Structure 1
Amino acid sequence: MNEERINQSGNPLFPGWYADPEARIFQDRYWIYPTYSAPYEMQTFFDAFYSTDLTEWTKAERILKMEDITWASKALWAPSPVERNGKFYYYFAANDIQSDDELGGIGVAVADQPEGPFRDAIGKPLIDRFHFGAQPIDPHVFLDDDGCAYLYYGGWGHCNVAKLSEDMVHLDTFADGTMFKEITPEHYIEGPCMFKRHGVYYFMWSEGGWTGPDYSVAYAMSDSPVGPFQRVGKILQQDPDIATGAGHHGFLQIPDSDEWYIVYHRRPLSETDANHRVVCMDRMLFEEDGRIQPVQMTHEGVAARPLRR
């Protein structure tokens, strides 16, 4: 094995069936928070993974477990953590509810450290109803430069955004008095993601069915965190030489740089089981006009990138 290969992460980043990764930088470490990819009845816990250089990953096991969430009974997935006020807040979906008559939706947990243990913060779902047709799943939290915290979420082809209160465990209202705004762009299915670069808001999402080969990622650009969002195009999709079902992603920006990475799941070519998904990472590059270049999936992954302390 040559030196160049040793200094690359390889894809997948770590062993095991995992999906829906959210990536963050906490306490001088890179963190990835995925779904444990298994049948719903077996999705009863969350693991996390951390690294100091993107290439060697260590598992933090069972950072949140179903038995610690009184209202959850199956299907924990799609976590999104954020650090604020010295605490770590962890948003997740549970129970895969199909109507307002069922118990479940989006919950929030809290911990003193990024590896947990997390505890249910409010003892009930934070969002437990269908607003504007959006199934309450796939939360993604975004902290804007002005300190406002936004929660993007939604399945069944609809996406909403809500504001989080300063304590991060309740919903706030927008200036117009509303609590939810629908921001669904064209072809949206699920898996929202938001970041800001050079003053532009990049709203991203997954298209296609998560069980099939056509799962993919598209994006829009806006001058506002609540849109409107006009679809620009796809940036991540299957490659017949690499993998299928590439989607539901997060991202990393190296601090004080314009260096970006996309973290996503995909299905190896040898796998047909819907739950056989692995977490991968590749570079995310931009055109001069700010548009995102199509992502080239690789088996090699990314080069070592130690965090400066």
Structure 2
Amino acid sequence: MFRKQCCGEGSGCHSPPTQAWQRAAVRTIRRRCLRERSSYPLVTDLPCGRPPESHSDPESVSGLRTLPLELHGYITSPTASLVYRELDQMHYGMRGFSALLLSALFELVLSKSVIVPGAIWYDTDGNEIQAHGAGILQVEDTYYWFGEDKAANSALFSAVSCYSSTDLVNWERQDNALTPESGTNISSSDIVERPKVIYNEKNDEYVMWFHSDNSDYGLAMVGVATADTPCGPYSYRGSFNPLGAQSRDEGVFLDDDQTAYLLYASDNNQDFKIAQMDSDYYNVTEVVSEMEGATLEAPGMVKRDGVYWLFASHTSGWAPNPNKYFYADSISGTWSSQADIAPEDTNTYYSQNAYDMLLGTNAIYMGDRWDSSLLGNSRYMWYPLSWASGDPEIVYADLWTLDLDAGTYTVLNGTVYDASAGTLSGSAVLLGSSYTYNGHEGVGYLGSGGSVSLNVTGIGADQWLALYYANGDSTWRNVTISVNGGSSVVVDQPDTGGGHVVFSVPVQVYLNDGYNSITIGANQTNYAGDLYEVVVYTQT
């Protein structure tokens, strides 16, 4: 497990970097360190100011003499070694370049190009993104992501965070959009969830709506706040029951004619309503559609070719359920009967809808994988949403990319390794012909003495692996993975919806160029999920 020293904190002997290129170097190492999920041990005994001698000799790497001490003593891995040498070459081989250009080059090296549903996502400063219950706002070529900061692992209000991006992949954290105000309904003892922001052209103003509640969810209100800029800070205007009725999970929709609507679970979550807002977007004026007894929550909506598409989950607390879609030619209905956006038994790949946005002729499903025992550990489940069949369906992908200009997406392919072809140890067994996925037999009884080892090919880099497994429990399991005999990394395995329901969880590890041995399920006392495949990707 990583110590704080890994990312340059807590040792008390680091001198602050003074030059821009040095600050960029610090960010480089920190991000590498945070993203490192390999099996290489940490350096815990090195004196301050010395790099790992097993990979970089300070006498032969002259640039290290001028690096800030924050860069030294991180991880003894080829990743760290390569970055040290890259920094040395960049600083001395490009002496004529400006610090600004060097910083830009660092950012270019570290920028991401892929979306990895279920992974821990990091912002451009190397910190975990905390923006659950997402809302997305586009202002010209910039996207703003608003969400709940759950870093304190509490349902209580900490902050509405704001991130910005031009590609929906690399996100920079801005100042918080909304923070607690004592003595109001948005204090740190209250609930603020699912923030959504729309722009009011008439007032040249950004308006945020959110689920506003007390700690036992008894008030069931909406809250409204306004700002002059996308990230605010927002000024809280108040909380209320729309048209005198309850509102819990909510969303907003802005139509082509700039008419705005509130989408909300009402009447103790039994009825679902759509209400039109006033011209300021401060309140609602009338309910234009109601689905009685629908028990829907977590709504989102897109308008595609003149048709309104509503996406929502049913109500099951923090646990997932099969998310549904409805469609209508008018926002006031009549709405179609519900249908699934993913195979029903997967519970939408253990996720709940948060926001949906168009991407060309298709869309992006933006969901949350809630970890109710550790809310800050909840993951973002973003998938392409395709109408290729005529109806919207999630396109399952371990890794995928998008082209915003073209309005397209690409699902990436990796190298598939059959778990049953590996070397089984201890209590691990093949599960038989009735337990297969893509023609591959499952390996069961991993953990608690059982493990399986596979030989995979790497490219000498941090690489994504997708572990395809089944967990028929009603609770999460986890599994260990180690590379080339190194220390183990623990990977969460949410319940998949049944012992025969298979999907994947991602993990990033360092793989040597060429041959690597990975071992799954060793050094853990609990049982892991049944393993079917490991898919190795080269894209980052």
Contact 1:47 1:61 in 2 (8 A): yes
Structure 1 position 9, deviation (Å): 2.8
Structure 1 outlier segments of 4+, above 6 Å: 237-240
* 1:294 paired residue number: 394
Answering whether residue 256 of structure 2 is matched by residue 145 of structure 1, we say yes
Structure 1 position 78, deviation (Å): 0.8
Contact 2:251 2:262 in 1 (8 A): yes
Contact 2:262 2:274 in 1 (8 A): yes
Answering whether residue 185 of structure 2 is matched by residue 94 of structure 1, we say no
Structure 1 position 274, deviation (Å): 6.1
Answering whether residue 199 of structure 2 is matched by residue 83 of structure 1, we say yes
Structure with the higher fraction of residues in helix conformation: 2
Residue by residue over 1:138-180, the C-alpha shift from the partner in whole angstroms, topping out at 9 and shown as x without a partner, is 22221212332111111523211211111111322xxxxxx23
Q: How does 1:204-243 map to 2 (within 5 A)?
A: 204-212=311-319, 214-236=320-342
For the structure 1 residues 18 and 273, does the alpha-carbon distance in structure 2 shift closer, same or farther, using more than 3 Å as the test? farther
* 1:245 paired residue number: 350
1:44 paired residue among 158, 163, 166: 158
Q: How does 1:88-127 map to 2 (within 5 A)?
A: 88-96=206-214, 105-121=221-237, 124-127=238-241
| Higher relative contact order, chain-length normalized (CA < 8 Å, sep 6+) | 1
For the structure 1 residues 139 and 6, does the alpha-carbon distance in structure 2 shift closer, same or farther, using more than 3 Å as the test? closer
2:364 paired residue among 254, 261, 265: 261
Contact 1:202 1:219 in 2 (8 A): yes
Q: Following the alignment from structure 1 to structure 2, what is the Cα–Cα distance between the partners of residues 238 and 19?
A: 23
* 1:165 paired residue number: 278
Structure 1 position 202, deviation (Å): 0.5
Q: Following the alignment from structure 1 to structure 2, what is the Cα–Cα distance between the partners of residues 260 and 84?
A: 24
* 2:146 paired residue number: 33
* 2:471 paired residue number: none
Give the unaligned 5+ runs of structure 1. Answer: 173-178
Residue by residue over 1:40-82, the C-alpha shift from the partner in whole angstroms, topping out at 9 and shown as x without a partner, is 33x2311022211122111124210121783334111111110
Alignment-mate amino acid for residue 321 of structure 2: Y
Name the SS for the 2:394 alignment partner: coil
For the structure 1 residues 129 and 144, does the alpha-carbon distance in structure 2 shift closer, same or farther, using more than 3 Å as the test? closer
Q: TM-score, normalised by structure 1?
A: 0.78
2:178 paired residue among 32, 43, 64: 64
What is the count of residue pairs matched by the alignment? 283
Structure with higher Rg: it is: 2
Cα RMSD, aligned residues only: 3.3
Name the SS for the 2:274 alignment partner: strand
Alignment-mate amino acid for residue 292 of structure 1: P
Q: Following the alignment from structure 2 to structure 1, what is the Cα–Cα distance between the partners of residues 372 and 236?
A: 35
Q: Following the alignment from structure 1 to structure 2, what is the Cα–Cα distance between the partners of residues 138 and 171?
A: 16
Give aligned-pair identity as a percent. Answer: 19
* 1:283 paired residue number: 384
Answering whether residue 280 of structure 2 is matched by residue 180 of structure 1, we say no
Contact 1:17 1:278 in 2 (8 A): no
Alignment-mate amino acid for residue 40 of structure 1: A
* 1:176 paired residue number: none
Residue by residue over 1:257-293, the C-alpha shift from the partner in whole angstroms, topping out at 9 and shown as x without a partner, is 32421211114xxx5626241223221110353x112
1:193 paired residue among 295, 300, 306: 300
Contact 1:104 1:128 in 2 (8 A): no
Give the unaligned 5+ runs of structure 2. Answer: 1-78, 80-108, 123-127, 408-540
Structure 1 position 28, deviation (Å): 1.5
Q: TM-score, normalised by structure 2?
A: 0.47
Q: Following the alignment from structure 1 to structure 2, what is the Cα–Cα distance between the partners of residues 108 and 69?
A: 16
Contact 2:274 2:290 in 1 (8 A): yes
